[in-house]
Homo-oligomer: A and B are copies of this chain.
Amino acid sequence: MTITEANPVLSFLPAPLGGRLINAVQQADPAEYAHLPALELSDRSYADLELLATGAYSPLTGFVGEADYLSIIERLRLADGTPWSLPITLPVTAEQAAHLRGTVQLTRQGQAVGLLDISEQFAARKSLEAREVYRTEDAAHPGVAALYAQGDINLAGPVTLFEVPRGDFPSYHRTPAEVRGVIEARGWKTTVAFQTRNPIHRAHEYLHKVALELVDGLLLHPLVGTTKGDDVPAATRMEAYEVLLHHYYPQTRTLLSAYPAAMRYAGPREAIVHALSRRNYGATHFIVGRDHAGVGSYYGSYDAQEIFEHFTAEELGIRILKFEHTFYCQTCQQLVSPRTCPHDSSQHLILSGTKVREKLRAGESLPPEFSRPEVAQVLRRAYSQ
């Protein structure tokens, strides 16, 4: 189980966190490992396996051990001091743990997809993890609920992935090395990444366009892993991105690519991993709006922006573009934010997510100042089915 280096990092791309892009993808015949103890992966753990093995989580080479686990939780850093904010753990029940030693095969529906060299087993501190990572012990929080539901023991150790899964969007599913390759080929000296799990309305397009006036390329990087049941389905979102990019974005400056992670809804903590992993994908800039990766009212609107102040610019290695809430202003006749518009809210077109879903369910159209007509049509069709 060797960790091989990817292509040497190209001069104008940012170095991955830790200096090299982890690559633990190794083709193998699963039958060879059939004699090993097996562990069936959850959707989230399978996504983590992919992110670890493809280097999206560089410098992590596998699920974290106890020293890193506690260091991440308590000081937002790996034990060696590198910034990292979410414990990437592989939880199992105590019963499972008792049967797992040495190298185990990691399976999906019984088929081996990779390996774990167990270096350590340790007890999860669920209450500490909930309080520190999610800032709440409320089981109504979807991340906390998942944490409480999982097994009590974490397995740690380096991983191998036999094959990069290409998911539901194979033509958009690219590893960090592949995204870096596209960025290099297009010659983008600077690339801004945008994390989203929602359809893109004009307010988001505005952020992209503001950034693109100053940065060479946009990596539109929607999260396609597990989300809450009420989020818009990934297939609809991808179709909406496609029509939006096709009609309104310069093709040579935009790259739509799938980000396979599952949502944890850890707000500020998740924003850090979202940014650091985009650095590993080759981005130099990362957009953090209000309420990034949040859910409900567990986090302050600016918490996910302010948390980056724990780190120096050099430590992060990716510049955070912090944006305000944006919307259309009737007097300005353009997209604005409280940073750029002096007019009061009577001039502002603001629709909540709930209101948008209501309109779509009722078959109503969304105003063109809110949503591009082509995007609104994709959403209306999805909601009318």
A interface residues, Cβ below 8 angstroms from B: 207, 209-210, 212-214, 247-251, 253, 321-324, 331-342, 368
Q: Are A337 and B249 neighbours in the complex by a CB distance under 8 Å?
A: no
Q: Are B210 and A339 neighbours in the complex by a CB distance under 8 Å?
A: no
Q: Which residues of B contact A336 (CB under 8 A)?
A: 209
Q: Are A212 and B339 neighbours in the complex by a CB distance under 8 Å?
A: yes
Q: Which of A324, A331, A333 has the most CB of B within 10 A?
A: A333
Q: Are A339 and B250 neighbours in the complex by a CB distance under 8 Å?
A: yes
CB distance from A186 to the nearest CB of B (A): 13
Q: Which residues of B contact A323 (CB under 8 A)?
A: 213-214
Contact of A214 among B212, B321, B335, B342 (CB under 8 A): B321
Q: Are A340 and B214 neighbours in the complex by a CB distance under 8 Å?
A: no
CB distance from A226 to the nearest CB of B (A): 32
Contact of A209 among B250, B340, B368 (CB under 8 A): B340
Nearest B residue (CB) for A253? B339
CB distance from A328 to the nearest CB of B (A): 10
Q: Within the assembled complex, what's the spacing in Å between the Cα atoms of A193 and B349?
A: 30
Given contacts A332-B248, A342-B251, contact A214 B209 (CB under 8 A): no
Q: Are A212 and B340 neighbours in the complex by a CB distance under 8 Å?
A: yes
Q: Are A250 and B340 neighbours in the complex by a CB distance under 8 Å?
A: yes
Q: Are A334 and B335 neighbours in the complex by a CB distance under 8 Å?
A: yes
Q: Which residues of B contact A249 (CB under 8 A)?
A: 340, 342
Q: Are A213 and B324 neighbours in the complex by a CB distance under 8 Å?
A: yes
Q: Within the assembled complex, what's the spacing in Å between the Cα atoms of A96 and B248?
A: 64
Q: Within the assembled complex, what's the spacing in Å between the Cα atoms of A12 and B358?
A: 47
Q: Are B250 and A341 neighbours in the complex by a CB distance under 8 Å?
A: yes
CB distance from A119 to the nearest CB of B (A): 43
